[in-house]
Amino acid sequence: MSRRFRLWLVAVGGAGLAALFTAAALDLPAFGGDHHPYGDRAVHASLSRHTANVIASVNFDQRAFDTLGEMTILFAAVIGCGALLRQTRDEHRATPEPQEVARPVRRYALLVLPVALLTGLYVIAHGQLSPGGGFQGGVVAATSLHLLYLGADYRALERVRPVALYETGDAVATSAYVVTGLAALIGGSAFLANTLLPYGTFNTLSSGGTVPLLNAAVGMEVACAVVVLLARFLDQAVEIEEGNGT
């Protein structure tokens, strides 16, 4: 297909989509309207189960089964990247040389690393109370470790990041989510139903029943998954080189 023909095809298809989309948008309820039946019910359900952050309640209580699917997608992506980015027979592993790092960069990275890690853990721990949660906090915690790569060098990062341990952590966290769901089943309720634990006092760390547990499992899974994913890509960029084993 020539580029000209392709552009023409995109123009026709895009114009058709734009026309249909505009027609559909004109028929949608007006922007900013007051009619949100599902949202109002979600808020009501969340408050009745003493979860201050309604989004956490939707993710880890009302739609906990969907979040299991989401976690599995992430888990599968980690396995897929591991399979795609493994070292092949015609490649060899070179030891990365330590590089000079500018002093202000080193100082700033080492100063911010503990703060960023603590922020990540805080965001995970307060997922059921304040904006944030396992997904967001996990990413913050995982990226904070990589400040060591910017501030020191790759070998320092490898010392604090044994990839095998994080791969195990990823699997354990995913299993923990499933086990929490099965516990509800054994307790005489539905899979992942939030009926097992007392709902606690509103707006405290232990409120929300199983929401904090599932939130912590997701936080651990996301942190481990991001570390393993970045490790695969960094290996390709820094360590693995083409060549015949020279």
Binding site for another protein (CB under 8 A): 3, 6-7, 9-10, 14, 17-18, 21-22, 25-26, 28, 30-34, 36, 38-39, 42-43, 46-47, 52-55, 57-59, 63, 66-67, 70, 73-74, 76-77, 80-81, 84-85, 129-131, 135, 203, 222, 229, 232-233, 236, 242
46 or 180, CB closer to another protein? 46
33 or 188, CB closer to another protein? 33
129 or 197, CB closer to another protein? 129
- Contact indicator for 57, 67 with CB cutoff of 8 Å: no
Q: At its nearest, how many Å lie between another protein and the CB of residue 197?
A: 20
| H or E element that contains 27 | helix 3-27
CA–CA separation, 205 vs 207, rounded Å? Answer: 6
Q: At its nearest, how many Å lie between another protein and the CB of residue 112?
A: 23
Rounded to 10 degrees, the C-alpha dihedral 180/181/185/186 comes to -20
- Contact indicator for 189, 233 with CB cutoff of 8 Å: no
Q: At its nearest, how many Å lie between another protein and the CB of residue 152?
A: 25
| Whole-number Cα distances in Å, 67 to 93, 149, 172, 177 | 38, 32, 16, 10
31 or 99, CB closer to another protein? 31
- Contact indicator for 96, 155 with CB cutoff of 8 Å: yes
How many of the other CB atoms lie within 10 Å of CB of 206? Answer: 13
Q: At its nearest, how many Å lie between another protein and the CB of residue 216?
A: 17
18 or 94, CB closer to another protein? 18
